[in-house]
Each structure stands twice: as C-alpha cells, then as structure tokens.
Chain A
Amino acid sequence: MPKWYEEQGNESDVVISSRIRLARNFVKYPFSPKLSSEQAELLCEELHNRIDDNKAALEEVMGKYYYYSVSKANDIEKQALVERHIISNKLARKNQHAGVIMTEDESVSLMLNEDDHIRIQVIQNGLNLLPALEKANAIDDIISEFMQYAYDDKLGYLTSSPTNVGTGLRASVMVYLPALGSSDKLEKIIEEVNKYGVSIRGMYGEGNKSVAYIYQVSNMKTLGMSEVDTLENLTTIVEQIIKQERKRREYLLDTNFDKYEDQVYRSYGVLRYAKQITTADAMTLLAQIKFGFDSKIITSKEKTSFYKIMMAIQPANLQKILGKNAGTKEREKARAAFLNKNLPELV
C-alpha cells in the first residue's frame, strides 16, 4: 500500500498535506500531569484492548492498522516516526508507557498517552481538511462509544491544556512557500492571519527562517467556533496564501528568470554529484529543485514526490534505510549517495 506522501495531492505546487488532530481524554483517568506510571500503563493497555475489540468497525474507517509500543522502541525507530509525523516529539520522549495505533499508509495515527489520553491524527495529501475531519470524526465516534470522554456542556471536550479545550481540534496545512518565504511578504501575511486566529510556523528550523521554505498553517482557537467553521476559515486563508505565492513566483520568474534557472540547475548538479551533505543543505537544495519542477524550468519523465525524498534523508529514516546506526559523517555520505541515486532523471 502506498504511503500518503508517495502520491501527489491537489495544489501540489504549494500544498504538501492537510492534517487534523483531535485531543481527547477519558473521565476514568487523571490527566497527564497527575497520571502515575501504573495508570499510564493501564490506560495504554485498556485503550489498546478496547480498540482491538472494535477492530472491524475501526478498520472499515481507517484501513488496516497495527499497534506500536513507543516506550519499548529504540531511539532511532522513535525518531523515524517523528520525522514522518506519525507521532509527536512529546510522545517519543515520554518517560511513561506510550503507544501509537497507526495505519499502513501512515495517514492515520492514534497517539496513546501523549499530553492527552488519546490524540486522533489524520493526514491527507493536498488541501483536503474536510475529508480528513470526517475520517477523524468517525474514529472519534467509535471511541466515544466504548469509553466515556471528559466532556462538559459549556466547555466541550476537556483537554489537559486549556489551549485545546472545546473542539480539541488542531487543523494544519503544510505548505511550501519559496517565493513568499524569501521575501519580506511572509511576515506581513503572518501578522495578518494572526488576526483571524491562524498561525504560520516554519516546519524545519526555528522561527520564520524555515529550512526549505516549508511552513505549517494552523488554527489557534478551539473554543467558540465549530469544527467545520474552523476548517472553512483555515481553508480560505490557505487559498489566499496559495494565490499570493503563485503570484509572487510568477513575478520572480518574470523579473529574474536567468538567476532562478541557474539556481535550479546548480542545486540539481550538487545533489546529483555531491559526496557528502547535511540534512539542512540537502533540504534547501531539494526545495530549489522542487521550485524548478513546479515552475517548469526543468522537467522529468516521472512525477516525483519531493516530500518523500525529504523524509527519507532525515537522520533517523536514513539510518533505517541503511539498516544500521551511523555517525554524522557516515550519514552525510549515505545521504549524498541516496540523493545521487534517487533524484529524478531530467529530460
């Protein structure tokens, strides 16, 4: 079964993926700050069992799944899951019992004992927030029938952090903004969308100076706005960002085509023949090449998912491909070799 990121979604020149996350807690257990290690173990066990009891219904919604005990996994395995966005950093670092239920295509994951008792996550490629929400809701409904959620008439779903209370919904769209990101336009956009309760953050690297110009656009508020309204608001804003990014790309190419053409070919050349390379450098160059393909400066025979390559060259996933632990230098060499081989052939 192909992973969700191996296929390209709509608006793929700008949008990489849409993600829905629902935070839920159960009445039966204390929240994470007060959850003892024994209770954490019980929680994971009970949830895992109850989920398995409802396997048929759940698999009808999300496809074949399997359970993975995060607390028993080694560091590389855990980090590889984080790099592929299946689990959060927090879950990987949890020093209590923690687990994840994940599907084969990696589009659905249920994190057990993260900050909240369960976090339902659905990822889809392209700009597809509503279908992702529907899937998450269906899973949520099944769970709500076998264990009582902490829910309040006035405040909605009660979460361990008050920043998630209400819908418990965090919707985000991962976007690729090379043109806006390399100008001062993005900062103004960030300021503007903040007023509508939406945040934009760099996915890799710190702050607005994002490596590879990949950003995450997400809702900030969870109280006082329904799930569907939240998604509609976010989608409208992302569509605006897409429009502006495309306009900016057009402008950059109109005014300075030679410069960008040279940059794209140089990046391709480096990745094709480099002998060692760091993650950040490789990401930056891959982003340049993606820009080249999207703007038709270069073309290849087959369509390539750059995001798939970007995930494969992250430290832990690279070591998984290598099948062994590797130090920084060895990884840099392996990364270069992987890229030499896996870059799409130009025509």
Chain B
Amino acid sequence: MLCDRCKKRDAKIYYTEVVNGEMKEQHLCEECAAECTQFHMNSTFVNKDISIGDILSSILGTYRGSTNQKADQGKNGNTEEPTKEKKTDHTLRCENCGMTYEQFLKEGKFGCHQCYHYFNKILSRSLKSLHGADAHVGKHPKGYVSDMKRIINELSEVEKMSILLQEAIEKEEFEEAARLRDAIRALKEKEREKQQDNTQPKKDEVNKEEINNA
C-alpha cells in the first residue's frame, strides 16, 4: 500500500489521530510519518519491540535525577557534596570492560558481567523499581557453590565447630553444645601436640562460661 500523503513510498505506519473527538486514520510511510506527526522513529525501530533501553534509561535516569536533586537540596548545608556526587555519576565506569554508566543508560545493556559489580550502588535501587525486588530467588548453575558456602568450606574444622557451638548455645541446645565444646577441645589438643609448642596450654574457659551464662 502506498503512503496516503506522498503517494510514492510504501506505507509502513498506520497512524490514528484523535482531534476534538474526531478520528482520522492514515497510512503513512516512515518519512511522512516523521514529518507530519509527532511520530519519531528511526527505521530500526519499526517492527521491533519498544526499545527496552528507552524505558530503562528513563527509569534509571529518574533515579540519577533524584540523587542529584537531593544533593542540590543539601547545597545550603554543604556545598561540596553535590558536585562530588555529580562527578561520580559521570565517571562511574566498569573497570573490566570500560563501559561507562552513561553508555549503559544509552544502550540499556551491560558490557560484561563485572558491570553489575561496578554499577552496583546505583543499580540495586533501579532493579527494585524494575522487578520489585533486588535479590535472586531460584535456580543456580549445577554444582555452584555460593560465596557463603565457600567461606565456610575454607574454615578450619575448629572454626566450623565454633560456629555450630555458638548456634547451639543460642538455641539453648546444651547437650549438643557440651558435645561440641569437648570436640573442639580435643581437636585443639591434637593441634597443640602436633605443633609441639612450648607455650603454656590455655584452657578453653570462654566457651564454658558462655554455656553457663546462656
């Protein structure tokens, strides 16, 4: 179908305008649509989903705006703060791939997985407004070990047991606590023997006291 206006190019846009309750329908080509309506789209936009980048940068943009505004409000009290904050916005940049926050706003996409880390501060608020949450619930890659688990795995046997002991005391499970206390003692004893240190062996009074206090 040809464009209703220029009658030369193919009509690609179906444009409906309501003026004073009167509806006017037109089939327009991209050029005429851009010229005679408020319709602004570049050719890549046609037939594509609404650019997430556009929506995104408006959401992220508002957040940026609001932090600046807040900073501006604080101008009376402290003149240095607002300029500082503005500066960090502009220079915020992923050190791994070099993507700046400005660039990210434009494209709506990250340059690498580290961007999430470098933009973390601004991001967590906007993620909340996008998803209503800022933490993942659900699947993880097969065999994935979380940071927390990794840290626990790296602890020594004694440290692990001390955590469990603390937990048992908090839950008032004294039998379990006593068992752990003895186990820790035995382990420490062994370590001491291994090291064959000359230092005076100290008795583990702390845990005992804690148990009695709990």
Contact = CB atoms under 8 A, between A and B. Distances in A.
Interface of A: 25, 27, 30-34, 89, 115, 137, 140-141, 144-145, 148-163, 165-167, 169, 197, 206, 221-229
Nearest to A154: B135
B136 A145 contact: no
Contacts of A115: 109
Nearest to A167: B138
Given A30-B112, A162-B130, A149 B141 contact: yes
B113 A166 contact: no
Which bucket holds chain B's interface residue count?
35 or more
B138 A227 contact: yes
A222 B99 contact: no
A253 to B, nearest CB: 30
A315 to B, nearest CB: 13
B139 A223 contact: no
A167 B113 CA distance: 15
Contacts of B56: 161-163
B111 A27 contact: no
A321 B190 CA distance: 80
Given A30-B97, A163-B52, A156 B136 contact: yes
Nearest to B99: A34
Given A144-B142, A162-B127, A163-B56, A206 B136 contact: no
B148 A145 contact: no
Give the interface centre of A25, A145, A225 by most chain B CB atoms within 10 Å. Answer: A225
Contacts, number: 129
Contact of A32 (B109, B115, B133): B109
Contacts of B148: 153
Give the interface centre of B111, B123, B131, B144 by most chain A CB atoms within 10 Å. Answer: B131
B147 interface: yes
B99 A33 contact: yes
Nearest to A116: B109
A144 B137 CA distance: 18
Contacts of B144: 144, 151
Contacts of B142: 141, 144-145
Interface in B68-104: 97-99, 103
A138 to B, nearest CB: 10
B116 A206 contact: no
Interface string B102-133: 01000111111101100000010011001111
Contacts of A224: 131-137
Contacts of A158: 110, 113, 116
7 contacts: A30-B97, A33-B99, A33-B109, A34-B99, A150-B113, A163-B56, A225-B138
Interface of B: 14, 47-48, 52, 56, 97-99, 103, 107-113, 115-116, 123, 126-127, 130-144, 146-148
Given A144-B141, A161-B52, A163-B56, A223 B113 contact: no
Given A161-B109, A221-B131, A166 B138 contact: yes
Nearest to B140: A151
A202 B183 CA distance: 66
B107 A25 contact: no
Given A31-B111, A156-B140, A161-B52, 5 more contacts: A31-B110, A151-B141, A156-B137, A206-B14, A227-B139
A163 B131 CA distance: 8
Given A33-B99, A162-B56, A162-B130, A223 B136 contact: yes
A159 B146 CA distance: 19
Contact of A162 (B123, B140, B147): B123
Give the interface centre of A25, A159, A162 by most chain B CB atoms within 10 Å. Answer: A162
A31 B112 contact: yes
A155 B126 CA distance: 13
Contact of A223 (B110, B112, B127): B127
B138 A156 contact: yes
B51 to A, nearest CB: 11
A205 to B, nearest CB: 9
Contacts of B99: 33-34
B135 A31 contact: no
B54 to A, nearest CB: 12
Going nearest first, the 7 A-B pairs with the smallest beta carbon separation are A224-B133, A156-B136, A150-B113, A223-B131, A34-B111, A226-B138, A144-B141
Given A141-B142, A153-B146, A166-B138, A225 B127 contact: no
Contacts of A221: 130-133
Contacts of A154: 134-136
Contacts of B132: 197, 221, 223-224
A163 B138 CA distance: 16
